[in-house]
Amino acid sequence: MKIAVVGVTGMVGAIMLELLEKRAFPISELIPVASEKNFGKTVNFKGKDHKIVTIKDALSRAPKIAFFSAGGDVSLFWAPRFEEVGCTVIDNSSAWRMDPLKKLIVPEINANVLSKNDKIIANPNCSTIQLVLALFPLHKAYKMKRVIVSTYQSVSGTGIKAVQQMENEANGVKGEMAYPHQIFKNALPHCDVFMKNGYTKEEMKLANEPMKILNDDSFKVTATAVRIPTAGGHSEAVNVEFENDFSLNEVRKLLSEFPGVVVQDNPEVNDYPMPILASGKDDVFVGRIRRDESAEKTLNLWIVSDNLRKGAATNAVQIAEHLINNVI
């Protein structure tokens, strides 16, 4: 099967290659794609060097599946052109997520809605994926009314430029800035751009995407997204109010039995999810599970996941695996 990876030299693209090899994805021809400045360079896949080509070259080869991780503008322009040659595009940008004609997929939750007619499939926002994966089994059991989420997001979510800024600042080196302020020894309540309503674009993704993924607008989400100086994963403090009451033992059981979720909740021995432990793993880790003693039928959770893996590359590869096993 011909597979294209668009944005192969980026942080997500590199992990995508790693996962495709590790998970033995059926590839007869790999088409690595990057910007023209990388044209002619190579990437290694399964011990063999593959020349990077332009996106136009990749289109002419008509891949069966193309993973896009090159930004919204690239996706908006090129994804429909790949669709025209029969390619299925799995897009990691925000370009298609809220398009009413496109599916927004977390495979453990809603892969069943995909069909052969879905040629452009949206990968959700990284912080949304870990949130909904943990909340979905609880929503089925107790029905959510309102979710309040505060995120503590890795600089890797911004990209290599942001990681370099943090490393430069830690080493006292002046360099290019990805953020309007220093990130080292700091916390920026500013993920993505500010919108007219005072929220950031990231916060509105968290507010809107869960309802589309769960196909349910009976609950509401409000978010505050904060960038912190870590690179291993995103963390979320989540407060969720339910229609129905719950027991903590049942909550832990529901979470631990749900695919892709790992309960790590032993605070008496200082065992709880942290980005440094989640880094490089494909699961979503949940801990600090406790009742909100200030409100009825309300739960507090701490959710951590590697934003480049389950928050991006892993989820995209899982979508493709579902397609080849059940749809294509």
User: Which amino acids are annotated catalytic?
Assistant: 126, 234
Phi-psi sector, 21: left (phi>0), alpha (psi -120 to 50), beta:
alpha
| Torsion of Cα atoms, 262 then 313 then 98 then 261, to 10° | -10
> Is 20 in contact with 8 (CB distance < 8 Å)?
no
Beta bridge partners of 65: 3, 88
Among the listed residues 289, 325, 324, the one whose alpha carbon sits nearest the alpha carbon of residue 88: 324
Strands 88-91 and 65-68 turn out to be parallel
- The phi and psi torsions of 25 (rounded to 5 degrees) equal -65, 135
In eight-state DSSP terms, residue 155 is G
Farthest CA pair distance, the chain:
61
Task: Give, for 131, the enclosing helix (H) or strand (E).
Answer: helix 126-142
Q: Measured at the alpha carbon of residue 90, what is the angle toward residues 88 and 92, in degrees to the nearest 5? A: 160
136 SS3 class? helix
Strands 261-263 and 284-291 turn out to be parallel
Length of the chain, in residues: 328
> Is 239 in contact with 157 (CB distance < 8 Å)?
no
Q: Which residues contact 206 (CB under 8 A, 6 or more apart)?
A: 125, 127, 128, 131, 149, 151, 221, 223, 225
Interatomic CA distance for residues 212 and 108, integer angstroms = 15
